[in-house]
Structure 1
Amino acid sequence: MKFSTLKLTTPYLELDDIFYDKVEPTPLTSPFIISVSQDAARLLGVDEELLDDEKLLSIVNGTELLEGSLPFAMCYAGHQFGYFVPRLGDGRAINLGKVNGQNLQLKGSGLTLYSRQGDGRAVLRSSIREYLMSEAMHGLGIETSRALALIGSETDVARESLEKGAIVLRLSPTWVRFGTFEYFNASGEYGKLQELADYVIDESFPHLKGVEGMYLEMYKEIVVNTAKTVAKWQSIGFNHGVMNTDNMSIDGRTIDYGPFAFLDDYEADYVCNHTDREGRYSFKRQPGTAHWNLERLAKTLSPIADYASSELILDAYFAETYEDEYLSIMYKKMGLSLKEDKDILLFKHMLRALEAARIDFTLFFRKLSRYDGKHKSILDIATFQEPLREWLELYDKRLSREILDEDKRHEMMLGVNPKYILKNHILQEAIELAKKHDFSMVNDLLRVAQNPFDEHEGFEHLCKVTPMSAKNTKLSCSS
């Protein structure tokens, strides 16, 4: 099937028109295709080459619509850096419709009713980052929105300076956010709140339809899914950067890639967003922030789901689910098949040692995945070796009690400790080339990011320690 022959439906438009605003995309001038993800296209049932589809560019640019498409922007509210904003919405994203369980959305496609003082555009640098990171997170096994295509243009967009506009065609099973519910709670539209909950159950939790206490059960699933996703972030060293409630997907997946980052050296207090001066969304605070956001959601749902019961669900499921998921991953990352009472102390000691040693988080675990008892290969990549040497001695003793042989241990670890992570200095290199109309690195990074655990001949340079000048830098929200 060709992409341009897809037939979309628009079930969200069956809701009252307070939920959305119908709007047409505003095309970019002189558009061109930069990259496509054939893997993402398969989610839609597309099996023909995207680049062979002569209508792909015009569809992503908004000059042509897929059959059944009725473009619209969604309304929502949200807590931004802890402060409630009663009316937000898709300010630069336009929804096209749904097919095969995936909602198609253009990001950067022009003004909507919810653009406020914005221009409805996205610039090339932020679009490259979102496009690549959406596919990279999927490659890492983390629930995420996906990206099918990225186009550039000659349209000038004013940010700190004039930049070129771009559009990402992204996909998600849902674009409903915590903030979508907050909008209708804040406006006192409790009937609409329930209508939205029914829609979410149909779209994301159909197995709950008709179940007794289904709104509480929906909340429980949101809690569990969110806890699992954040645990995966922490295990891989991912800092989202903007965990506002309007950036939290109702089904728990990662969405809205702005000033994100993967850790270079392990730094628990790392803040990737330079707007976040108080460190609200620092790496170590992400689990607590997710819990806070879920508390806001419990209050938001209180007109249709008993608040005290929701609080009990949050207390009963979030911490336990998060810890179980995180520890399950960490056992595999460290090559441990048996569980001992003191393992958590060993894990905590490791993180303290990594921070004191100033060592690359990703490279450490990849090196550990081939560890044969010789400390040198790991110590050589640490700025300060002694803290890590002490931990490795404890790790050696722990391995001596394992039942897995070395080959099996290495196999398990190589399957969870990626070789390729799209760190910010690497993405920036691709962006600088793209500004010169060289998109080769964007496509190279897509290839390795979709298979980050594999060996990719000719790309060893992407796995080197981050240069000191680029380590754990902060990024702007501007896009």
Structure 2
Amino acid sequence: MTLDNLKYKTAYLSLDSEFYDMTDPIPLDDPYLISFNPNAAKLIDLDSSSKDDPRFVALLNGTFIPKGTRPFSMCYAGHQFGNYAPRLGDGRAINLGSINGWNLQTKGSGETRYARTADGRAAMRSSIREYLMSEAMHHLGIPTTRALGIIGSQTKIIRNQIENAAIVMRLSPSWVRFGTFEYFYYFKEYDKLRSLADYTITESYTHLQDDEDRYYKFFCEVVDRTAKLIAQWQGLGFCHGVMNTDNMSIAGLTIDYGPYAMLDDFEYGFVCNQTDKAGRYSYGDQPNVSYWNLTMLSKALSPLIDKERMQKKLDDYGNFLYPDAYIDVMREKLGLEMKLDEDVELITDLVGTLQDAYIDYTFFFRTLSRYDGDRMPLFDIAMNPVPVDGWLNMYDKRLSKEVHTQDERQKAMLKTNPKYVLKNYMLQEAIDLAQKGDFSMVETLLHIAAHPFDELPECERFAGETPEEHKNVCLSCSS
């Protein structure tokens, strides 16, 4: 399919007009292509040759609007750092419609009805970060939004300094958030709340459409998906940074990449967001915050679903849904095929070991993936190898109970524990070059993002631990 054949569906516009606002994009000045993602283009059957069509830049910039397109921004509310904000919405994002079940959205397209005095723009640095990380997460096997392309411009915006604005085109099976439900609950518009639930079930939980108990089962599946998602985040060492309820996907996806980070040296209480002074969204608290957010969702759904039934499901989340999902993720990272009760202690002790060892999280697991009894490679990458030595005694004992061979275990672990994750220092290097007009590092990191488990000799410098001066950097929400 070429740009001539783009045809969007806009099912969301069948809802009441309070759900959205018809919004025209405001084009950037002198736009230019930073990157085109052929892997994401395949999702909507868009030919890779579209990269060279000037209308692709125009599509992202809002000056080429395919026939039948009805751009709009979505309305929602949300709890931000625990405080309820009654009206948020897409302050700088414009939805174009869906193709092949993927909802296309341009982020940074200018002020909308929900901008709340902001300029509706996005900085190049934050746009590059979202573009690259959403693709990296997908190839790591984490449910996420995707990104089709990114453009830069000569339009100036003021953040902490004067910067150039950019637009990234995002794709998602759903842009409905926990906060979308909160909006209609707190305004006591329960008929619209029901309409939203029906729409969401049709969009993301189709198999429940004709079920008489669909609202409760829908809530249960949101809880299940969220448990698995957060377990995957924790296993990978991903810190979201802004887990407000308006940044939580009702479809169980990773959305809204802001001041995120991948762990460098393991730090359980690491906070990646400078705005988060209280550490509400620290790495270690992400499971607790996800439970809190689900509790807020259950409150918003209470006009449709019995509260006690939802609370029982929430209890399951804390008692076994999330813990079991996390243990399963960690078993796989440790190369354990059998499920033994002692694994909980092994994994719990590992978390404490990593905390005490001052060791790069990703590099540790990649090195462990080649473990053959020789401990020196692991000692060499730990500032404090003593706790690693003690934990390996437990690990050796546990491995002796497995039935698969060492070679089989190593091969499985190398397919589970990435060699490459996008650390903030890598992204900053790409951003610094891009701001000078050199987009080569963006393309390099896009390539790395698509091959996290592979041996890439030309990218070997990104495979080790983070340089000391760049470890566990805390970023700003400003974008």
Q: TM-score range by the shorter chain?
A: over 0.9
Q: Which residue of 1 aligns with 2:328?
A: 328
Is the partner of 1:84 in helix, strand or coil?
strand
Whether the 8 Å contact between 2:327 and 2:347 is mirrored in structure 1 is no
Is the partner of 2:430 in helix, strand or coil?
helix
Partner Cα distance (1:318, 1:94) in 2: 36
C-alpha displacement of 1:4: 4.3
> Residue 134 in 1 paired to residue 134 in 2?
yes
> Residue 230 in 1 paired to residue 230 in 2?
yes
Tell me: CA distance 1:3–1:141, structure 2 relative to 1, closer, same or farther (3 Å).
Answer: farther
Q: Which residue of 2 aligns with 1:279?
A: 279
Q: Which residue of 2 aligns with 1:349?
A: 349
Partner Cα distance (2:394, 2:124) in 1: 47
Which amino acid is 1:372 matched to?
D
| Segment of structure 1 superposing worse, 430-439 or 45-54 | 45-54
Query: Structure 1, residues 380-418: CA drift from partner, whole Å, max 9, x if none?
Result: 011111111111122122222221111100111011100
Whether the 8 Å contact between 1:259 and 1:273 is mirrored in structure 2 is yes
**Count of residue pairs brought into register by the alignment:** 479
Which amino acid is 2:118 matched to?
G
Q: Which residue of 2 aligns with 1:11?
A: 11
> Residue 295 in 1 paired to residue 298 in 2?
no
Query: Structure 1, residues 84-124: CA drift from partner, whole Å, max 9, x if none?
Result: 00000000000011110010000000000000021000000
Which amino acid is 1:404 matched to?
H
Is the partner of 2:284 in helix, strand or coil?
coil
Is the partner of 2:257 in helix, strand or coil?
coil
Whether the 8 Å contact between 2:81 and 2:280 is mirrored in structure 1 is yes
Q: Which residue of 2 aligns with 1:377?
A: 377
| Segment of structure 1 superposing worse, 190-199 or 336-345 | 336-345
Query: Structure 1, residues 349-401: CA drift from partner, whole Å, max 9, x if none?
Result: 11111110100000000000111111111110111111111111221222222
Whether the 8 Å contact between 1:262 and 1:422 is mirrored in structure 2 is yes
Whether the 8 Å contact between 2:138 and 2:146 is mirrored in structure 1 is yes
Q: Which residue of 2 aligns with 1:99?
A: 99
Partner Cα distance (1:201, 1:339) in 2: 34
Q: Which residue of 2 aligns with 1:419?
A: 419
Is the partner of 2:54 in helix, strand or coil?
coil
TM-score, structure 2 length as denominator?
A: 0.98
Partner Cα distance (1:405, 1:394) in 2: 18
> Residue 338 in 1 paired to residue 338 in 2?
yes
> Residue 83 in 1 paired to residue 44 in 2?
no
Q: Identity percentage over the alignment? A: 54
Q: How does 1:28-427 map to 2 (within 5 A)?
A: 28-317=28-317, 319-427=319-427
C-alpha displacement of 1:184: 0.6
Tell me: CA distance 1:339–1:206, structure 2 relative to 1, closer, same or farther (3 Å).
Answer: closer
Partner Cα distance (1:146, 1:50) in 2: 18
C-alpha displacement of 1:264: 0.1
Whether the 8 Å contact between 2:41 and 2:48 is mirrored in structure 1 is no
C-alpha displacement of 1:307: 1.4
Query: Structure 1, residues 259-285: CA drift from partner, whole Å, max 9, x if none?
Result: 000000111000000111111000011
Partner Cα distance (1:190, 1:239) in 2: 34
Which amino acid is 2:148 matched to?
L
Is the partner of 2:25 in helix, strand or coil?
coil
Is the partner of 1:285 in helix, strand or coil?
helix
Partner Cα distance (2:396, 2:447) in 1: 36
Moved over 4 A (4+): none
Partner Cα distance (2:179, 2:292) in 1: 13
Segments of 5+ residues of structure 1 without an aligned counterpart are none
Q: Which residue of 1 aligns with 2:468?
A: 468
Whether the 8 Å contact between 2:78 and 2:84 is mirrored in structure 1 is yes
Is the partner of 1:217 in helix, strand or coil?
helix
| Segment of structure 1 superposing worse, 299-308 or 286-295 | 299-308
Partner Cα distance (1:81, 1:144) in 2: 22
Whether the 8 Å contact between 1:220 and 1:317 is mirrored in structure 2 is no
Tell me: CA distance 1:36–1:376, structure 2 relative to 1, closer, same or farther (3 Å).
Answer: same
Segments of 5+ residues of structure 2 without an aligned counterpart are none
Which amino acid is 1:284 matched to?
G
C-alpha displacement of 1:150: 0.6
C-alpha displacement of 1:325: 2.1
Is the partner of 1:67 in helix, strand or coil?
coil
Query: Structure 1, residues 428-454: CA drift from partner, whole Å, max 9, x if none?
Result: 111111111111000100011112011
Partner Cα distance (1:352, 1:408) in 2: 28
Whether the 8 Å contact between 1:223 and 1:318 is mirrored in structure 2 is no
Is the partner of 2:151 in helix, strand or coil?
strand
Partner Cα distance (2:357, 2:432) in 1: 32
Is the partner of 1:106 in helix, strand or coil?
strand
Whether the 8 Å contact between 1:29 and 1:153 is mirrored in structure 2 is yes
Partner Cα distance (1:442, 1:386) in 2: 39
Whether the 8 Å contact between 1:3 and 1:48 is mirrored in structure 2 is no
Whether the 8 Å contact between 2:291 and 2:317 is mirrored in structure 1 is no
Partner Cα distance (2:95, 2:186) in 1: 24
C-alpha displacement of 1:316: 2.6
